[in-house]
Amino acid sequence: MELYERSAAQLGKMLRAKECSAVEIAQAINDRIVAVEDKVEAYITLAGDQALEQARAVDAKIAAGENLAPLAGIPIGIKDNICTKGVLTTCASKMLYNFEPPYNATVVDKLLKQNIVCTGKLNMDEFAMGSTCENSYFKKTKNPHDLDYVPGGSSGGSAAAVAAGEAVLALGSDTGGSIREPASYCGIVGLKPTYGSVSRYGLVAFASSLDQIGPMGRTVEDVAMLYSAICGHDPMDATSVHRDYPDFASGMKDDLKGITVGIPKEYYGPGVDEEVKKAVMDGAKMLESCGAVLKEISLPSTDYALSAYYIISSAEASSNLARYDGVKYGYRCENFDSLTDMYEKTRSEGFGDEVKRRIMLGTFVLSSGYFDAYYKRAKLLQKQIADEFAQAFKGCDVILTPTSPSTAFKLGECTDDPLKMYAADICTVTVNIAGLPAISLPCGKGANGLPIGMQLIGSKMSEATLLSTAHCYEKAVGGFGPVPKLV
């Protein structure tokens, strides 16, 4: 097995046993990127030389006998909306094509202190708006399992890089499913943490009350290790939760005795492909064989969640993206007649179609004539959805749903039909609306050979239970699929 095919946990053990060096691991990833990146197109900015330099520093510390963090020397890709000092952070937008942040996001500083090796910045839907990774200004990332299909979005570059062996781990961000959906499409593991458990300082905002940074990897253990590395209170983030966090990787159990799994009927109705329902229900039976008890539940407001999500997220996007006007940083149009003309031309030329669509929708629902009819009602529905989840968790420990109603779309399939793209988020947006944690796991393949994902949802701050449940499932099925060949 090549080094790029191994998990972070395996590579960490090999490093400490001196069976390989951090430089050898970094070089293996760099070589893999050279071999397949022209096909997958997962990266916007590569940092191969920096990765080797960081790897040499890790090897020196190991040689000196230093006690390093579990993920020291492990290559990780960073989604391009997470700020990296002196390294381009473009949000996959023409608007920020030349932006080099003067500071690191808190999660990046945490990883650098733990001596993780950064491979570069990963492609995404522009400003994290999309579900296919086709809205990037720079390139369209492909699904490593079939290059004619999308990898999902908005963290499509993160999912594709991990699936293709171009990174061992990756950071994504999740506003309505943007970690979990691409994890499902690319056959990897992706965790959307509880809102407030990971600092958002340095994450370029899309919808501030919904955004959350989270880990992506090929195994549950890897995701647990990365989550442990980035979670925790941050005084730079006013929404950050002050509490003690355990070592999630070492706390995972080997069985599911005493665990009740809720099956919400609303997530298995019309609109969800039959092959997806079957794969997820087969996953439910596997959880039952591990000792879990299955229980049918109801979350009646689910049908309205998508509407509430797009109203709330677009309203916040309209406000957050108002700062991009060509005055202080980023793109500025070349020819203009006045300040107002510069604003209009800069934003017209700098933003892509999907971003413009959401800004216009957000501005509309916040306008004086429509605020009560749309935004206020969406916020009331948000509370109702959160209350329904809280009630459901009184009778179960985790909730099992499909991650996406189908396998991946073909490239170009949703380009002219954004509503079809929006509908793909139906199973994931409720989690962000309620501020809950959720994890996506591979649970089979469709007739087209592409991965199917199942989603486990937990109550707030229940990541330990979620990861244990996911770990038991992973063990029961004998692990997840290998890295696609591609060459």
Which residues does the annotation mark as catalytic? Answer: 79, 154, 178
CA distance 227 to 233: 13
Q: What is the dihedral of CA 222, 226, 231, 236, to 10 degrees?
A: -160
The answer to whether the peptide bond before residue 440 is cis (omega within 30 degrees of 0) is no
Three-state secondary structure call for residue 27: helix
Q: What is the DSSP letter of 116?
A: P
**CB neighbours of 462 closer than 8 A, spacing ≥ 6?**
194, 397, 398, 437
CB atoms within 10 A of CB 334: 8
Is the distance from CB of 168 to CB of 188 less than 8 angstroms? Answer: no
CA distance 43 to 164: 12
Task: Match 């919808």 to its residue by tokens.
Answer: 207
Secondary structure E strands in 25-94: 43-46, 75-79
Task: Match 């790029």 to its residue by tokens.
Answer: 4
**CB neighbours of 168 closer than 8 A, spacing ≥ 6?**
4, 6, 7, 8, 11, 25, 29, 74, 75, 76, 162, 217, 218, 222
CA distance 248 to 232: 12
Q: What is the DSSP letter of 128?
A: G
CA distance 175 to 172: 10
**Amino acid at residue number 294:** L
CA distance 162 to 217: 6
Secondary structure E strands in 176-223: 189-192, 213-217
Nearest to 403 by CA among 442, 434, 433, 436: 442
Q: What is the DSSP letter of 486?
A: -
Sign of CA dihedral 91, 78, 125, 382: negative
Is the distance from CB of 379 to CB of 312 less than 8 angstroms? Answer: yes
CA distance 415 to 217: 28
Q: What are the start-end ranges of the H helices in 268-394?
A: 274-289, 302-320, 339-350, 353-366, 377-392
Is the distance from CB of 75 to CB of 25 less than 8 angstroms? Answer: yes
**CB neighbours of 120 closer than 8 A, spacing ≥ 6?**
43, 44, 45, 46, 47, 48, 51, 77, 78
Is the distance from CB of 85 to CB of 22 less than 8 angstroms? Answer: no
Task: Match 């990365």 to its residue by tokens.
Answer: 226
